[in-house]
Amino acid sequence: MAGKVYLVGAGPGDPELITIKGLRCLQEADIILYDRLVNPELLKHARHDAQLVYCGKLPHDHAMNQETINSHLVKYAKMGLKVVRLKGGDPFVFGRGGEEAEECTENGVEFEVVPGITSGIAAPAYAGIPVTHRTLSKSFAFITGHQAGDEEAEHQWAHLAQAVDTICVYMGISHLPNIVKHLLQSGKSKDTPIALVHWGTLPGQRTVAGTLESIESRVQESGISNPSMIIIGEVVRLRHKINWFEEEVVPHLPIMPH
């Protein structure tokens, strides 16, 4: 009997934010290949006899490289197993789910995608920052911070600075100086609000907010690190007004007139 691969989004961290369908896949899986940022609480929903395989990746330190993960998905499915590839956030938002889906297709393995809530939306929401707002932001973009040092991608920053109201940057904290530099060079005001949300949606969530001019020093003072989402745009100013999750909101950024 042929097996099947389920590419499941685990959500941004809070275990209650996984979808009902994603949870059902976990409960029924024969084997679960899970990432570093998946909340361990979710693995408690696995069957007692399910095999759990850690596939976590740290910068320059991969428990399992992507090619090996791809081959495992195919191998286990061809053994007739129900395989869950459990990813933080959403499989198709900087999760390499597209590559894994391609591998399944090329090897004749049936697969299904179960979308998850991505941290680019959830982390700002838990910090009191809506990525869209009727008067402040009519557009938003997701981008990976890994491109910040890529000369070929510099034109993208220029486009984003002028064409998009809210920019959400994944995996960007180590590239923060370059991100700030590119945006300022592309015409963004030094007073543009920016926030970094660390461990978004989890009890230990911390947010550091400032402007493009001040954010680097504030991040250095706070000691904030990965995993953190970066949000850039006027919607950050709403944080002091509609924050609902964290106990403190610092610093105060005034709401711009509509």
Report helix angle 154-163 to 176-185, nearest 10.
60
Write down the catalytic residue from 4, 21, 57, 78.
Answer: 57
Task: List the catalytic residue out of 30, 35, 188, 229.
Answer: 35
Antiparallel, parallel or unpaired: β 4-9 and 111-114: parallel
3-class secondary structure per residue, 46-106: CCCCCEEEECCEECCEECCCHHHHHHHHHHHHHCCCEEEEEECECCCCCCCHHHHHHHHHH
Residues in the chain, overall count: 258
CB 229 within 8 A of CB 88: no
Q: Is 166 helix (H, G, I), strand (E, B) or coil?
A: strand
1 as an active site residue: the answer is: no
Active-site pick, 30, 87, 90, 171 = 171
Asked about 171 being catalytic, the answer comes back as yes
Helix (H) and strand (E) counts for the chain? 9, 12
Active site residue 150: no
Catalytic amino acids?
35, 57, 171
